[in-house]
Amino acid sequence: MTTTHADRMLAWYDRHRRHLPWRAAPGVQADPYRVWLSEIMLQQTTVATVMGYFERFLARWPSVEALAAAPVDEVLQAWAGLGYYARARNLHACARAVVERHAGEFPDDVDLLLALPGIGPYTAAAIAAIAFDRPASAMDGNVERVVARLSAVETPLPAAKPELVQLAAALVPARRPGDYAQAMMDLGATVCTPRAPRCVICPLIRTCRARRAGIEAGLPRRAAKPEKPTRRGVAFVLTRRDGAILLRRRPPKGLLGGMEEVPSSDWREGPLDLASALAEAPVPARWTPLATPVRHTFTHFHLELVVALARAPTARLATAARDAYWAEADTLGDRALPTLMRKVIARAQAG
């Protein structure tokens, strides 16, 4: 009897599967809510980072109905630190859509899943395969790398994506497609790694074309990325005598959408014109810029923010700042502040 690619992958998975908090035990039907929640969290984020967030979310909102009923501000607060905050807003919107459109049950159809907020082709396929054992092809970065090496695809990414999607789909078995999807993810994460792949223990070593050609470490090839620009601005940390800090909420759409922030000037490319940036302060005050800026990197640009400090002589001073409000010092740890703004506040407190 011929051993197929899927046979090798499933046999390997049965011995080496990772034990993850969202993954069902062998032979147990996966919980679609856990699968969906983990897949959204894992986008652009490592497993090690996600584990704690996943467990806290699940303890706080154990079902999609509970998450749908939660205020979006609480969801954003719980998400703070995970980055890519549009995911948190879409997570909440998706939970509400599942409750409103599907009576709290995730659909098992890829097209219906794609119609839900925040669910793209990969996530829809992953949920369909893992939660419902549908023969859907879920291709994340790990699977992309495995397939590129297996078939020795030398076209650079992202141009290679359509070919890799077709190749991956052709490999999906009718038997245990959910376990197969997770096997391919695990293989890419633990064996077929980006650097120094551990080919000698790979179940696919005999059929891997890149290994035979000696080019496995160089695949998948990637087109050169343009250098990220650097934007600069000033973050204004205004405090009261009791330690409260002036905050405001960012617009619901766009970068860090819906999150709380320390007011800042516009973020512009090129050298910082400090005098002009200080003129964008939320309220008139004696602003003192700190010497060392806070640095942070987003997907498409680097950011440097000079932190400027001021003390509010009266509580009424803050009313001049549009959409701003005081946040008590002992509540800052529980607020929906992104990592960037926590860096800014920490720099201000360090002086």
Specify whether 328 is catalytic.
no
- The token pair that represents 185 in the structure block: 């993810």
C-alpha span between 189 and 32 (Å, rounded): 22
- Specify the DSSP class assigned to residue 238: E
C-alpha span between 110 and 351 (Å, rounded): 52
* Cα 82–Cα 83–Cα 84 angle in degrees, nearest 5: 130
The answer to whether 247 touches 239, Cβ cutoff 8 Å, is no
C-alpha span between 293 and 287 (Å, rounded): 15
Looking at 133-176, list the stretches that DSSP marks H as alpha helix, in order from N- to C-terminal side.
141-150, 161-171
Half-sphere exposure of 43 (CA within 13 A, CB side): 23
Catalytic residue among 39, 144, 216, 260: 39
Looking at the chain, list the stretches that DSSP marks H as alpha helix, in order from N- to C-terminal side.
5-16, 32-42, 47-60, 64-69, 72-79, 86-102, 110-114, 121-132, 141-150, 161-171, 177-190, 209-213, 274-278, 339-350
User: Which amino acids are annotated catalytic?
Assistant: 39
